[in-house]
A = this chain, B = another copy of it.
């Protein structure tokens, strides 16, 4: 079974400099993969000439005359950039020419465009962003990481339903555990939004295990498969983790750079430090999926390098193979029917 992805080749801080080599790496690794690189043909064709021959039939260019800037407002991008590499890449998903789209472009514009072009799955009100984080137990999936703010309890339930389907599909776990991000584990803790969401989750079919605190994202006292939060809270948590990791990394580097002796020690310890770094390398966790849309869009970190962008492409490959979008749609449809049945039975 072949799978086709559209790549926003112009997106991200580095554009084709990163997206093209990452795409070629992924084509080498997966012989079933087909890629459509979307962007300015005048820029892409010269740097891809050899690759187009090498991967004949599996690699193509789709011209797009415009480019969404990293700081462009979503509404302006939506209105004025109808031929942007981002928009055209998403159009290919809508038209069935691609199974999913990968972009390192402006998150807000990507979300607005994806929502406008692909539309929502009926029964889901808002799209959510899910990603995978390394944890002391392996890893944890978390959403929403910034798709929404001021989410209602019902929205948090929808996020949990969608996230559970992703974890089931990707990890092959039958009944993933779901935790709700809160500031304590006792029932009385939390804001109004979270307390109301807890009630909905308790009464759902999900494997809800209760409140979890921020440390559960990387290192709680027990593993959790999926952590659900409002997009404001989830985004702040994710960025806080990024900041902590950067500070710790900087301090470690500084400690080995103090003087000639510590530098020699650093050389001796280099292979160990390298294996440590690999374990928590954020590039190996790059890629967040937009859930709730009638098509798959994967967002890469804007500052992604070749390795990181390849990880995002590979995530798209997995989610297409595992049929994530269809599974979410079916599950949501099932729940809607159940609710309707429940509603009808209370009317009778």
Residues of A in contact with B (beta carbons under 8 Å apart)? 71, 73, 108, 134-136, 146, 149-150, 181-184, 186, 188, 190-192, 194, 213-220, 229, 231-233, 235-248, 250-252, 254-256, 258, 262, 265-266, 268-269, 271-273, 275-276, 279-280
Q: In the complex, what distance in Å separates the CA atom of A195 from the CA atom of B42? A: 43
Asked, given contacts A247-B135, A272-B255, A272-B256, whether A215 binds B240 with beta carbons under 8 Å apart, the answer is yes
Q: Which residue of B lies closest to A239 (CB)?
A: B214
CB–CB A243/B243 < 8 A: no
* Chain B nearest Cβ from A272, distance in angstroms: 5
User: In the complex, which residues of chain B have a beta carbon less than 8 angstroms from the beta carbon of A240?
Assistant: 214-215, 217-218, 237-238, 240-241, 244
15 A-B contact pairs sorted by A residue (CB < 8 Å): A183-B231, A183-B232, A183-B235, A190-B232, A214-B240, A215-B242, A233-B233, A240-B241, A244-B245, A244-B248, A254-B279, A255-B279, A256-B272, A265-B271, A265-B272
Task: Please tell me if the beta carbons of B255 and A243 are within 8 angstroms of each other in the complex.
Answer: no
Is there an interface contact between B183 and A215, defined as CB atoms closer than 8 Å?
Answer: no
CA distance A268 to B268 in the complex (A): 8
Contact B191 A215 (CB under 8 A): no
User: Please, how many angstroms separate the alpha-carbon atoms of A275 and B182 in the complex?
Assistant: 34
Q: Which residues of B contact A136 (CB under 8 A)?
A: 246-247, 250
> Which residue of the partner chain B has the closest CB to A252?
B276
Collect the chain B residues with CB atoms within 8 Å of residue A243's CB: 214-220, 241
Query: Which chain B positions have C-beta within 8 A of A276?
Result: 251-252, 254-256
CB-defined contacts of A192 to chain B, threshold 8 Å: 149-150
Residues of B within 8 A of A150 (CB): 191-192
Task: List chain B residues, Cβ under 8 A from A279.
Answer: 251, 254-255
The distance from the CB of A271 to the nearest CB of chain B, in whole angstroms, is 8
**Chain B hits for A216, CB < 8 A:** 243
Q: Taking A244-B245, A272-B265 as contacts, is the C-beta distance between A186 and B71 under 8 angstroms? A: yes
Given contacts A233-B232, A276-B252, whether A246 and B219 have CB atoms under 8 Å apart is yes
Asked whether, in the complex, the Cβ of B272 is within 8 Å of the Cβ of A262, the reply is yes
Expressed in whole angstroms, the Cα–Cα distance for A219 and B243 within the complex equals 5
- Give the complex CA separation of A239 and B149 in angstroms: 20
Distance between Cα atoms of A254 and B108 in the complex (Å): 38
